[in-house]
């Protein structure tokens, strides 16, 4: 599995709609709205490097309101997080 971290600059007034469009793509596992130079960060997971071209310039960059991307390909994962468990803390009734 190949993981790419995609930093995305968008039209600020359309961040929620753009984030939802990106999150709906098959190879995108998460989309985060963030502070700083970029507006969104998308986690893209594919099985082959060639698939990155289909997802990032082929689909993400073509979504209306996406102004630019900066992609970082992960070499190795050093920790694994159970995000569902982390977000579920304190939700038990």
Give Cα 9 distance to the centre of its chain: 12
pLDDT at 81: 61
Which structure tokens are listed for 42?
């998308």
Can you give the residue ranges of every domain in the chain?
2-76
Per-residue pLDDT band for 14 (boundaries 50, 70, 90) equals very high
pLDDT tens, residue by residue, 20-66 = 999 999 999 999 999 999 999 999 999 999 999 999 999 999 999 99
CATH of 2-76, one of 3.30.70.890, 3.20.20.100, 3.30.70.920, 3.40.50.300: 3.30.70.920
Instruction: Provide DSSP, 8-61.
Output: EEE-GGGHHHHHHHHHTSTTEEEEEE-SSS-SEEEEEEESSHHHHHHHTTTTGG
Per-residue pLDDT band for 76 (boundaries 50, 70, 90) equals confident
């Amino acid at each position: 599995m190949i993981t790419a971290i995609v930093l995305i600059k968008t039209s600020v007034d359309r961040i929620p709609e753009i984030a939802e469009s990106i999150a709906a793509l098959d190879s995108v596992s998460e989309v985060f709205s963030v502070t700083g130079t970029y507006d969104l960060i998308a986690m893209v997971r594919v099985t082959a490097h060639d698939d990155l071209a289909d997802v990032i310039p082929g689909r993400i960059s073509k979504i209306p309101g996406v102004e630019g991307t900066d992609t970082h390909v992960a070499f190795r994962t050093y920790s694994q997080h159970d995000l569902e468990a982390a977000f579920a803390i304190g939700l038990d009734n």
